[in-house]
Structure 1
Amino acid sequence: MSERAARPQRRKTRQDWVDVALTAIAEGGVAAVAVEPLAARLGTTKGSFYWHFPNRGALLEAALAHWAERTTTAILREVKSASYDPRGQLKLLITRVVAMAEEDPVGPALLATATHPAVAPVLRDVTRTRLDAVIALFAELGFPTDEARARALLAYSAYLGHTQIAHSTPDLLPSGKEERRLYLDQVLHILTAP
């Protein structure tokens, strides 16, 4: 009896499909989300896919929603629930998104396909949500609305630049724990200076 036959295989869940779709996006963009290759990667059949999703578009939508939750909604929830003052919340946000930017290969892959009909509205909503949250933090720090908006846009642009560097030339970023702390403190100082 083969080892595979002796060991019952766990049924693939909806989340298994979402996770493998995100991995495929990270490796090959939205076009890499194809049912048969994903089924092979999961070691299952297309029938498993159709048990959870009516079509490829539904899988793509679920994967993008999961990415948005993990990289935006969850982080903003964590920041808002932190007992820090607005400056402390902004520092926590910067620390979390910088770490995420370095670890998340899906974000850059989505930016590369920003005009795709399934991706464009998700990126638009995520960007607006992120910017609105940062604008609110700058407003809580006492900056007038226009300046809060300008600083938030600068912060978000820096985040996108950091993401690009983290994935293309990571050796240019501070690597040691103390260097990273000083770098992030300097970013916060620049963003909040009068």
Structure 2
Amino acid sequence: MALISSKVTPDRPARLTGDDWIECALAVLVESGIEAVQITALARRLDVTRGSFYWHFESREALLDALLTEWRARNTGVMVEALEGTTTLDDGILALFSVWVDHRRFDPRLDQAVRDWARHSEQLRGVVKAEDAARVRAISAFYKRHEFDPKEAFIRARVIYFTQISYYALHLEEDEAIPERMSYLEAYFRSFTGRDIDPAIAAAYRQGKPEGHDE
């Protein structure tokens, strides 16, 4: 009587998903710029054939559109969600601070990579401009919910948003700068709102620390 072999044939690797291609393309975009986001290079990096790509995307342009959709979802969506989940001025401003210093939530390298990409595309410059405007509108709406005059709300939103974006553009947003910026919390809050933060809320925020960082 023949024995039945107990050897199990290893499963073949699971087929890549569209998200796998997007994640790979995002990594290449951040590391090397948009010109490096090429189907052949991505396939080589993922160790698959070019044919695998076309199971998920009709063209490179379709993949690039998906990258922009993901950028919006990550970097604009997280800001909007942070503000919508708060009920007080103090909590909302601190929620923005937390998003901006936690690079697992707002990805400044991705944001900068898309802005670099936009330098070579007039159409994309319009997309980035519209996205900046959407972010400012979200912050402005937050200020208006807390009884700021509409014009003042808009200007304060621009100031707080473009101040942060300039930190990224100038590469000032480093982990070692977090403790120093935290020491200026009350001054930053007053500058961005014209009001004083509740000392108890400031103390609790410091004790909790921005998620993803250790002081």
Query: Structure 1 residue 11 and structure 2 residue 12: aligned?
Result: no
Secondary structure at the residue paired with 1:142? coil
Corresponding residue to 2:29 among 22, 25, 32: 25
Task: Determine the C-alpha separation between the residues in 1 that align with 2:28 and 2:129.
Answer: 22
SS at match of 1:51: coil
The structure richer in helix per residue is 1
Q: 1:148 aligns with which of 153, 166, 190?
A: 153
Alpha-carbon distance, 1:117 to partner: 4.7
- Structure 2 CA distance for aligned equivalents of residues 136 and 33 of structure 1: 36
Q: Which has the higher contact order (CA 8 A, sep 6+)?
A: 1
Q: Equivalents in 2 of 1:188, 1:46: separation in Å?
A: 51
Runs of 4+ deviating beyond 6 Å: none
1:127 aligns with 2:132: yes
Which segments of 5 or more consecutive residues in structure 2 lack a partner in the other structure? 1-8, 196-215
Identity of aligned residues (%): 28
**Corresponding residue SS for 2:118:** coil
Deviation at 1:187, TM superposition (A): 2.0
User: Aligned equivalents of 1:37 and 1:122: distance in 2?
Assistant: 26
- Give 1 or 2 for the bigger CA radius of gyration: 2
**Structure 2 residue aligned with 1:187:** 188
Hey, what does 1:91 align to over in structure 2?
Answer: 94
Provide the alpha-carbon RMSD of the alignment.
Answer: 2.5
Deviations 1:120-176 (A, max 9, x none): 2431232121100111122223221111111111111111111124x36737x6243
Once residues 81 and 24 of structure 2 are traced to their aligned partners in structure 1, the CA distance between those partners, rounded to angstroms, is: 25
Q: Give distance in 1, aligned partners of 2:173 and 2:157.
A: 25
CA distance in 1: counterparts of 2:106 and 2:81, whole angstroms:
20
* TM-score normalised by structure 1 residue count: 0.83
Q: Distance between the aligned counterparts of 1:37 and 1:191, measured in 2? A: 45
Structure 2-normalised TM-score? 0.76
Give the whole-Å Cα distance in 2 for the aligned partners of 1:37 and 1:125. Answer: 31
Unmatched 5+ residue regions in structure 1? none
